[in-house]
Amino acid sequence: MSTPAGFTLDLPFRPRRLRRTAALRELVRESQVRAADLIAPLFVVEGEAAPEEIASMPGQFRRSIRDLVTECRELHALGVRAVALFPKLDPALKDARGVEELNENGLILRAVRAVKAALPELVVITDVALDPYTSHGHDGVLNAAGDDVDNDTTVGRLAEMAVRQARAGVDFVAPSDMMDGRVGAIRAALDAAGFTATGILAYSVKFNSAYYGPFREAVGSAQAAGTKLLSKATYQLDPANRRAALAEADLDEAEGADILMVKPAGAYLDIIREVRERSERPLAAYQVSGEYAQIHAAARLGWLDLERTRDESLLAIKRAGADLILTYFAKDVARALA
């Protein structure tokens, strides 16, 4: 049936009125991503070699401490206010117990000191987990049978690790191991050592995800174990479990976490929303290496527009309820916003 000429619907409200121009769309925009919302994960290695691009993460590099400081200066100038540092160690320094982590002059501690000396106003976050240091690639010390991570022994090591990082000058320690009770133990250890101002950004809801492969290549934990398919199912969350995820977030908040985090972000927007609705703590989400890599891969094949997909993916995380986003797109987005 044809529509009569001049036909007009009798509508009290037309939503398209608010989408008519770019100015109107911006005026009523509910969510936005700012450079100050982003945390840039960065990888550091020993030596003075030029930055080495990570094959599975285009545009991401392993950097010497000198080049790391340069990158931090550039990020800060673009409005990024925080970085998260991850070490890539020489395999010769790794063993089953991750003893190199005990080195008071180790790579990550020297990197923290250098960055804070150059940019004291930049927020520096460090990972608290043993996987960069262990020959088996797990996040902690294995039990006597060697078939699982020993929870309590590992927590003791992590608490000591956090204190060393605080002594080096970090603003936040970020336990990513998913051991039971580690946030409370780390908070107690920091306070006992006089670091009451050092915060804890807890990987509260970290799933046993398939999206971590490129990161494990970047820090060498996959190669240490001899496989990219290393299972961490006994300590990281089952991707099928929503209630368990919320319980983990509740526990970390009760144990003193200053900021909660959900990881990965894109496949778990429902969890981000639920944690946001039940907690008043700041909430972070980690757009992980696999999310970053798949967007780049599809864009290189011409299947997706890189910039539009990048921006939409981050906006979705923000809209779901994240206050802060760890993302490898941090520098590119900050540059685009500037």
Is the Cα torsion angle 199, 68, 222, 301 positive or negative in sign? positive
Pairing of strands 61-63, 52-53: antiparallel
Angle at alpha carbon of residue 64, lines to 62 and 66, rounded to 5°: 135
Of 43, 102, 64, the C-alpha closest to 220 is 43
Please say whether the beta carbons of 186 and 255 come within 8 A.
no
- What tokens were used for 332? 């590119």
Q: Which residues of 231-254 are buried (b: 16+ CB within 10 A; e: fewer)?
A: ebeebbbebeeeeebbebbebbbe
Please identify which of the residues 116, 232, 263, 331 carries the catalytic annotation: 263
**88 belongs to the catalytic site:** no
Q: What are phi and psi of 220, to 5 degrees?
A: 85, 10
Out of 88, 116, 206, 331, the active site residue is 206
Active site residue 206: yes
Look at residues 73, 84, 71 and name the one whose alpha carbon lies nearest to residue 38.
84
Amino acid letter, 221: S
Q: Using an 8 Å Cβ cutoff, are 331 and 80 in contact?
A: yes
Backbone angles phi, psi at 137, to 5 degrees: 85, 0
Using an 8 Å Cβ cutoff, are 126 and 184 in contact?
A: no
The residues carrying an active-site annotation are 206, 263
